[in-house]
Amino acid sequence: MNDWINNNLGRVHLNPQPPHGIQGQCVNLASSWSLYQGGPELMGDTAWHIWQNFRHPFYQVVTGAPQAGDIAFFLPNNPSAGTGSAGHVDVVVEVTGFGFKGLDTDWNQNPKSQYVNHSLTGVAGYFRHQGETMSTVDLTIGRIAYYALWGQNGQNGTPNALDGSLDADIQKNWVGHETNEFINTFFNAPQGDAYRKLAASLASEGTKLNPGKYIV
């Protein structure tokens, strides 16, 4: 997390252009943290809209105590929190005795990312990464990459990765922004495309794969 903070502290996060669904500097900062973790882009018109409507298996929605790394959402039009109609969102850096220290942007009309000490007043809740898991798309890519490396019969007699039997190892070793970037690069390369087509062909045969575990 420290690397991400060092890369973003003091930066101005401008609204990106379509087709991205991010609107507002504070949402852009939070989405940057989500993508850094290997999670989804936060899609919505405002921070409050995202809190109310955006759900993804990467995140658990929490309304209890914060933890470092949580994405915190603030109620809209709350004088205690100092928010407007769009609400607010930031990233929890450290839990304190009275609340938490967050990395915020567009707070108190400051466009640059800064540390802000918050109480829990006006906090609606948090998006919390549910642990070392991969999204369905990344898990599929991971299976295909393992298949590309070790072949149909696996490595040294281990099962074929495409049937889901190596998922625990894939989730343990292929999680995070660096590995997700690697497997996505592989997936989009000509070799990855060839293996994807092969995997789909094997899945359609139904004999070499477990249909209940294979994800297309």
Domain of 36 in residue numbering reads as: 2-129
Give yes or no for a cis peptide into 16 (omega within 30° of 0). no
User: Alpha-carbon distance 96 to 51, whole Å?
Assistant: 23
What does pTM read for this prediction? Answer: 0.60
> Does 159 fall in a domain?
yes
Q: Domain boundary at 112, 129, 146, which?
A: 129
Model confidence at 166, in pLDDT bands (50, 70, 90)?
A: confident
pLDDT in tens, 99-132: 999 999 988 888 889 999 999 999 999 999 876 4
**Within this chain, do residues 51 and 99 fall inside the same structural domain, yes or no?**
yes
- DSSP three-state, residue 180: helix
Q: For residue 109, what pLDDT is reported?
A: 81
Q: For residue 8, what pLDDT is reported?
A: 87
> Does 89 fall in a domain?
yes
**Within this chain, do residues 157 and 93 fall inside the same structural domain, yes or no?**
no
Q: Domain boundary at 85, 107, 129, which?
A: 129
> Does 214 fall in a domain?
no
